[in-house]
Amino acid sequence: MIKMKLQDVHAFFGKNEVLKSINLDVYDKAVTSIIGPSGCGKTTLLRCLNRMHELDRNASIKGRILLDNADIFKMDLYKVRRKVGMVFQRPNPFPFMSIQDNVLAGFLMSGKRLSKNQKEEICEKNLRRVALWEESKDRLRDLPTNLSGGQQQRLCIARALANDPEIILMDEPTSALDPISTSKIEELIIGLKNEIVIVIVTHNMQQAARISDFTSFMYLGNLIEYGVTEQIFKVPKEKLTEDYITGRFG
Amino acid sequence: MRVLTDRLFQAFTMVVALSVSIILAFILFQLIKDGIGSINLNFFVETARPVGSNSGGFKQAIVGSLIIDSIAMIIIISLSVLGGLFLHVYPETLLSKILKESMSLLQGTPTIVCGICVYYMVVRSMGHFSGFAGSIALALVGIPYMVLASEQIFKMTPSLLVEAAYSLGLSKTRVIFYVILRFAKFPLLAISLLTLARIAGETAPLLFTAFGNSFLELNPGRPMAAMPLQIFIYAISPYDEWHRLAWAGALVLIIFVTVLSIILGRYRRLGE
């Protein structure tokens, strides 16, 4: 089932067109990865999916992006971002809030009132989902700056999950982490894909091959090829994809 | 040659640093030498007295300064934080550009001009001098400094945190309240203290506005004494006894500013 559909999407920074006529289907209960060399528009494409691209004053988007057949440009902006959560390249927990408050940030900052029990329940549930509960249950009141980089990134994933999104966008979530933390995040992504749609941008082709069900290859703002991960890595249809995957450029 | 240039430059900077330190040390020495003798309990609990009665103090000036500076700081902080936020959130608008230019211009305006402006706008329309007019004049001195500093502080908020908040579906207002203002809390406190230290010693804006008062006055709607004003009045008088009180007043003012600086250092560390 298609969860999100991109139809002829163009993205601009001022007059510079950084995404050119992208057509892409994001499937439900699957991990979709976006690969490609630096500057090809992977992150821009990801940021278009929850309209974070428009945060930049010079940025604009043309085309249609449908979430469950509803055009996200006609939906309430804040509702789109609640439905389509995001995890960034570098861990970015709020340094002035405790670990527990970071998990609950979406509720606390939007003014929703929660009872003490609800807070504890949401916090535990989401920390368990990211396998951080055992490591942090005795220091929920501590600042997140006391956690390691990998733990901070898992906390950011818990923060995004607590908001109850339908899709999570991940922008190279392991690029700033060591191999052990990376493998934990990868396990987490595989575990989560039955509950939630994940779209991940990665530079690491092995990672894309390991964790994703569908892979899209981008080059210079164009979506060159999109398909089942196994097909993309074993029998790519496009010469450019083959050259990139075999390391001839990039 | 490079070593020689380096040594010459090091020697030059050392001489400059020493010269500045000597001047500062001389001022402090003079303040302590001439001021410490007149600082006693009477200095803090007595109001000004006529020459010859020998036990006058600065009570009315200390209380006056506390009231005038407090009102000024309330005006400065509330307007400057809003102004700084506006500059940060809407930097490209015409109003923002006008605000920024006028703040830069006002920052370089001699403080006595602020006093004269408030004299014409507030004192003459009220019909009399007042502590409140003094607060407005001091606010005019502090606002440009703090608006521009606040804008810089808000700019320091990491974009990573702002984006994290937006990605949770928060509105711009909530991002400002919960992330930008919260992140800027300690630096804003530090800059407020710095602004207070700056306006606490201003005399010129108070000359035509608060005017001064030899008696204790708690109503800011009436002419009020203030520390720098009282020091000025005593310093230009022909009496030795009042000169000694002026030195003592200046010493207390310096101690106040030093204490603020120490607190400021602590807040800086907290901010980091």
pLDDT digits 0-9 by tens, B50-86: 887 766 889 999 999 999 999 999 999 999 999 999 9
B-chain residues within 8 Å CB-CB of A93? 164
Q: What is the pLDDT of residue B270?
A: 56
* Residues spanned by the domain of A141: 2-245
Say how many C-beta atoms besides its own lie within 10 A of residue A201's C-beta: 24
CATH number of the domain encompassing residue A198: 3.40.50.300
Query: Is residue B98 located within the same domain as residue B209?
Result: yes
Residue in A94, A110, A163 nearest the CB of B161? A94
Put simply, the answer to whether A160 touches B165 (Cβ < 8 Å) is no
Q: What is the pLDDT of residue A41?
A: 94
From B223, B249, B183, B202, select the one nearest B76 (Cα to Cα).
Answer: B202
pLDDT higher than 70, residue B267: no
Q: What is the pLDDT of residue B268?
A: 63
Q: What is the pLDDT of residue B264?
A: 79
CATH number of the domain encompassing residue B61: 1.10.3720.10
Write down the H helix ranges in B46-130: 59-89, 94-107, 111-118, 124-126
Residue B143 lies in a domain: yes
Mutate to test the interface with A, among B160, B168, B172, B176 (most CBs of A within 10 A): B168
Residue in B92, B163, B168 nearest the CB of A109? B168
Task: Kindly indicate the confidence band of residue B48, based on its pLDDT and cuts at 50, 70 and 90.
Answer: confident
Closest-CA distance, B177 to chain A, in angstroms, reads 9
Query: Is residue B46 located within the same domain as residue B22?
Result: no
Average pLDDT over residues B18-35: 92
DSSP state of B176: I
Residue of B nearest to A156 (CA): B164
Query: Is residue B23 located within the same domain as residue B145?
Result: no
Q: What is the pLDDT of residue B55?
A: 64
Residue of B nearest to A78 (CA): B169
Supply the ipTM of this predicted assembly.
0.93
B-chain residues within 8 Å CB-CB of A108? 178
Query: Is residue B32 located within the same domain as residue B55?
Result: no
Query: Is residue B65 located within the same domain as residue B174?
Result: yes
Residue of B nearest to A90 (CA): B160
Sign of the alpha-carbon torsion through B98, B103, B108, B111 = positive
From A153, A160, A118, A109, select the one nearest A135 (Cα to Cα).
Answer: A153
Q: Write the CA distances from A32 to A23, A169, A237, B3, integer angstroms.
A: 14, 10, 18, 60
Residue A250 lies in a domain: no
Q: What is the pLDDT of residue B266?
A: 73
From A232, A235, A213, A231, select the one nearest A223 (Cα to Cα).
Answer: A232
pLDDT higher than 90, residue B260: no
Q: What is the pLDDT of residue B269?
A: 61
Whether residue A92 contacts residue B164, with contact meaning beta carbons closer than 8 Å, is answered with: yes
DSSP state of A175: T
Query: Is residue B15 located within the same domain as residue B100?
Result: no
Residue of A nearest to B171 (CA): A78
Query: Is residue B31 located within the same domain as residue B61?
Result: no
B-chain residues within 8 Å CB-CB of A82? 168-169
* Residues spanned by the domain of B6: 2-36
A81 φ, ψ to 5°? Answer: -70, -25
Number of domains in chain B: 2
Put simply, the answer to whether B161 touches A92 (Cβ < 8 Å) is yes
Whole-angstrom distance, CA of residue B129 vs CA of residue B206: 10
Mutate to test the interface with B, among A80, A96, A156, A172 (most CBs of B within 10 A): A96
Amino acid in the structure at residue A117: N
Residue in A86, A96, A109 nearest the CB of B170? A109
Among A34-43, A49-58, B36-45, B200-209, which stretch is predicted with the lowest mean pLDDT?
B36-45
Task: Compare B83 and A248 and report the one with higher pLDDT.
Answer: B83
Query: Is residue B128 located within the same domain as residue B23?
Result: no
Query: Is residue B208 located within the same domain as residue B82?
Result: yes
pLDDT digits 0-9 by tens, A117-167: 999 999 999 999 998 999 999 999 999 998 999 999 999 999 999 999 999
Amino acid in the structure at residue A143: L
Query: Is residue B111 located within the same domain as residue B232?
Result: yes
Residue A234 lies in a domain: yes
pLDDT digits 0-9 by tens, B239-255: 888 898 999 999 999 99
pLDDT higher than 60, residue B199: yes
DSSP state of B8: H
Share of chain B above pLDDT 90, in %: 79
Query: Is residue B157 located within the same domain as residue B206?
Result: yes
Number of domains in chain A: 1
Q: What is the pLDDT of residue A211?
A: 95
Q: What is the pLDDT of residue B85?
A: 95
From A111, A114, A104, select the one nearest A161 (Cα to Cα).
Answer: A104
Residue of B nearest to A111 (CA): B174
Query: Is residue B25 located within the same domain as residue B124?
Result: no
Residue A110 touches chain B, beta carbons under 8 Å: yes
